[in-house]
Chains A and B, each alone.
Chain A
């Protein structure tokens, strides 16, 4: 796997948008990235587990699965490496209780960023960690807005139900 290829991949990931023109910083980030391979069918992360790693799909594809309150499993989405997708990013700033299970749909490779390494990098190179942390904060803010909207939707449905 050539370093240039991985750098190219990192520059395409939305989380690293502010670093894409800063090759030296991307290279510094690359130093703490590990490459992990999973065979087809392997569980990469499991819903409910506590995790400390973020994954970028480098090659292959994954399926995101969730469980209903009744305990049934359903597929949320299937993602391919070409779509420049990542998951588990909250683990970089906090112990992340995984909200979904991710399964490799084929033999796949991932660029893996560990929380401990990321926090160390942040201490020595805040100019790299800050934009990434800000991007994670934006993701969290967006999810919070969605949760608020969801609550209002549930509230409206409840009121409609009582009125009917």
Chain B
């Protein structure tokens, strides 16, 4: 199939055995997304995708059969106008981490070559591929194995830590979740302490920190580059340009000092009661 009219959709590259659960979780945490706006690109047998559609919530799911790292497949999924591309560590055709991660890097390169403004989130198995993904301008990297290992390590030191993390992400028992919210423009340039005070009368929401450099990485980089030039001091100019080079997209900063200055393109990280 070809989906040339789709816009602002989510493309999922690759396949996982628990694909149904992944899709249902996506629909649960993003209520504004429906299956009509999700395209799976994979070499999986079409019958398995059809089987997913037995679920009423997944009825409109779209599918492009082919190599997810191939430009032709991504063009058929209309990657140029997608809102986000999520690349899974797909072990359908190979279990070798190096092969799986290499395909992921190739996919990021292909998507970014088609449209550098599309937000790309990639899951990798081996952390040594992180630098390749960063060079390929990947916007967000998920280290699923590393994440599990760290949860295990934390659990050995603190009782219940895995339950806390699971609950924060699943919202199965408590009615709270971690979310990001836009920061009102009047707080840009102000301190974290001043922003924190705005939450004092809100028991339903707790401010956890700031997510820096959010939005289109390309736009942020270009704007930062323009801002960096606004000095007549060459030493300062070089410092500014180095900062642009090291700019990290979507960098979380949990519980910063009260003196921390809130930058443009930041979001507030909140723990909030569901329905607040």
Contact = CB atoms under 8 A, between A and B. Distances in A.
B131 interface: no
Contacts of A157: 238, 241-242
Interface in B229-270: 229-232, 234-235, 238, 241-242
Interface string A92-131: 0000000000000000000000000000000000000000
A68 B230 contact: yes
A145 to B, nearest CB: 13
Nearest to A152: B234
Contacts of B226: 68, 70, 72
Interface in B103-148: none
A21 B225 CA distance: 50
A69 B229 contact: yes
Interface in B36-84: none
Given A70-B226, A72-B226, 9 more contacts: A69-B229, A70-B225, A72-B229, A72-B230, A74-B230, A76-B232, A154-B234, A154-B238, A157-B241
Nearest to A157: B238
Most buried by B among A68, A69, A76, A150: A68
A66 B233 CA distance: 12
- Assign chain B's interface to a size class: 10 to 19
A8 interface: no
Interface in A17-74: 66, 68-70, 72, 74
Interface residues of A, number: 11
A-B pairs, top 6 by smallest CB distance, nearest first, are A74-B230, A68-B229, A150-B234, A157-B238, A70-B226, A76-B232
A74 B238 CA distance: 17
Contacts of A74: 230-231
A153 interface: yes
Contacts, number: 24
Contacts of B235: 150, 153
A74 B240 CA distance: 15
Interface of A: 66, 68-70, 72, 74, 76, 150, 153-154, 157
Contacts of A154: 234, 238
Main secondary structure of the interface of A (DSSP, over half): mixed
Nearest to A150: B234
B229 A153 contact: no
Interface string B209-234: 00000000000000001100111101
A149 to B, nearest CB: 8
A66 B230 CA distance: 8
Contacts of A68: 226, 229-230
Contacts of B232: 66, 76
A157 B232 CA distance: 17
A70 B227 CA distance: 10
Given A70-B226, A72-B226, A153 B231 contact: no
Contact of B238 (A69, A70, A153): A153
Contacts of A153: 234-235, 238
Contacts of B229: 68-70, 72
Nearest to A156: B238
A74 B229 CA distance: 9
Contacts of B231: 74
A70 B244 CA distance: 15
Nearest to A74: B230
A149 B231 CA distance: 16
B240 to A, nearest CB: 11
A62 to B, nearest CB: 16
Contacts of B230: 68, 72, 74
A150 B237 CA distance: 10
A72 B227 CA distance: 9
Contacts of A69: 229
Nearest to A68: B229
Nearest to A72: B226
